Amino acid sequence: MSRAAVARIWAEVLRVPEPGAHDDFFVLGGDSIAATRLMARLRAELRIDLPATAVFGSPVLGELAELVAGADVLPPAAPPRTDPAELSAAQRRQWFLELFSEGAPSYHIPLVLRIRGPLDTTALRAAVRDLAARHRILRTRYPDRDGEPYAVTDDAGGFAVGMARVPPDEAGAWVRARVRAPFELATGPVFRAAIGRTGRADHVLAMTVHHIAADGWSRRILLDELGELYAFHRGLGPAPAAAPPQYADVPQRPPTEADVTWWAEELRGAPDRTTFPAARPRPAVLTDDGATIPFDLGADLSAAVRALARSCRTTTYTVLMTALQVLLSQETGETDVVVATSVAGRDDAAAEPVVGCFINTVAIRADHSGDPVVTELVGRVRAATMGALDHAHVSFDRVVEAADVRRDPAYRPLFQVMLTVHNEPVPDPALAGLEVTWLDVDTGGAKCDTFFAVTDDGGPLTGALTYRTQLYDHSDAVRLAGRFRAVLAAVATRSGRRVSELGTAQPEGTPDD
């Protein structure tokens, strides 16, 4: 029974024919997002207690089915929050980050669309208002009482969608101004939208939501609903389904003392200030002012990265994390390396269709000592990542407390460098009868010294490097992005060599000094 059930859920998640006992989840197209969905479905439907990383350790169907068959019964789920004023751990972190960032746009999530064609602005404005009405989290604000935040949900009737005529040559500045404008969490709103008309049949929809109310996963949910709601208000589609599940209704998995102890041991003695050498002295107090540059890893290198991941029975993410850690080790001379990453935090299947902030930050600490062979280091990073993901439901703030990290306004606690890999880029949404294009917008904020974000949508890998402008110049960022690409190429194509034999790989056309 367990093998048949695992095969069925596996096939539904990957949208492939039902797999055989020897098929590998990742070879068939699985990635970290799909793995999260698979394990959430298995836990929910089969009521088994397996960690979210089980499929990473046992990616072959037969192996995973054996784990499922021997798994303990899932303990009763934690009840939803009964106090509507209570913030989740993820929200509390966002509230305090906003407090200390002094209005910087680091935690703004832009959803910006260019729309060409005969737009019905009345229907679009109604569709956007419906988003706020359907998702209470989008109309919730966060005042505080004696420094403790609490949630207040406002009535849906007060949400407005602005309209403006925008000269075409000013559209970029208009969008950036709306994306970067500060949020007032105490008074709200935490979600805002405006439509700019740049031509007779050319518009820009600029929506921005604060991270306290949403995360990257939420963007797809909102844009899918926007298309359905627009069609409805045009009379071209059915009435939308009843109000979707709400953020406050999703149970929050509480950490155990064993989870917290694991983090305390994992990060004992870890370096917390390892970062890339900066062009300028580090100020006593950092701001979140930042800038972003794109980079492209190309088809050949992308194929080599995926091939190494398959041969090591791991993910593209693990190879990318290994390369970034090698680069950081080369630039600093450290062999104890910590790089942060983000996790979706949606281990519960009930969270999949919900708009809200579930994300958490975890530190990936790997030992680079002993001059390991590249494949051995990939294994170390893989093991460190799996351990961190198995305990990723412990909030970052609780981890910092458990690790007894020193506090310094010139540094982030625990890490200064971060990597994320987006396996599911937001698609261009469908608005009936219109040509719609997703626009990437630089928020002008930086969450840490350097933030590498890579998109893996099955084609050539692309990325963006966001950096603190207090520390780095544009030329420094260009050099770092080039070095990352060069080190990644060395890791992917010389995986049988020791790390020391990779050399200090330089971008093409740059001498190796």
pLDDT tens-digit readout, 206-262 = 999 999 999 999 999 999 999 999 999 999 999 888 889 999 999 887 888 999 999
Please give the Cα distance from 318 to 337 (Å, whole number).
Answer: 14
Residue 405 neighbours by CB distance under 10 Å: 18
Please give the Cα distance from 111 to 238 (Å, whole number).
Answer: 24
What fold does the segment set 2-73 form as a domain? Answer: 1.10.1200
The residues of the chain scoring below 50 in pLDDT are: 509-513
Whether the CB-CB separation of 203 and 195 falls below 8 Å is answered with yes
Helical H segments across 162-254, by residue range: 171-180, 216-233
To the nearest 10°, the Cα dihedral for 241, 359, 24, 15? 20
Q: Do domains 89-249 and 257-425+441-502 have the same CATH topology?
A: yes
Can you give the pLDDT at residue 425? 63
- Tell the CATH superfamily of the 257-425+441-502 domain: Nonribosomal peptide synthetase, condensation domain (3.30.559.30)
Smallest CA-to-CA distance from 165 within 110, 204, 126, 118 is with: 204
Which residue(s) pair with 339 in the sheet?
Answer: 364
The first and second tokens of residue 7, run together, are 């095969």
Can you give the pLDDT at residue 511? 39
Can you give the pLDDT at residue 243? 83
Convert the pLDDT of each residue in 377-408 to its tens digit.
999 999 999 999 999 989 999 999 999 888 88
Instruction: List the domain boundaries for the chain.
Output: 2-73, 89-249, 257-425+441-502
* Type of residue at 181: A
DSSP, collapsed to helix, strand or coil, labels residue 266 as helix
Can you give the pLDDT at residue 328? 98
Can you give the pLDDT at residue 62? 86
Residue 55 neighbours by CB distance under 10 Å: 26
DSSP, collapsed to helix, strand or coil, labels residue 451 as strand
pTM of the model: 0.89
What phi, psi does 273 have (nearest 5°)? -125, 20
Give the N- to C-terminal CA distance of the chain in Å, as an integer.
Answer: 60
Distance of CA 75 to the CA centre of its chain: 28
Please give the Cα distance from 329 to 327 (Å, whole number).
Answer: 5
Q: Which conformational region is residue 30 in: left (phi greater than 0), alpha (psi within -120 to 50 degrees), or beta?
A: beta
Q: Which conformational region is residue 77 in: left (phi greater than 0), alpha (psi within -120 to 50 degrees), or beta?
A: beta
Task: Tell the residue number behind the tokens 């040559």, with chain if given.
Answer: 169
Task: State which CATH number among 3.65.10.10, 3.30.499.10, 3.30.559.10, 3.30.2310.20 fits the domain covering 89-249.
Answer: 3.30.559.10
Please give the Cα distance from 28 to 12 (Å, whole number).
Answer: 12
Q: Is the peptide bond before 189 cis (omega within 30 degrees of 0)?
A: yes
Containing H/E element for 482?
helix 474-493
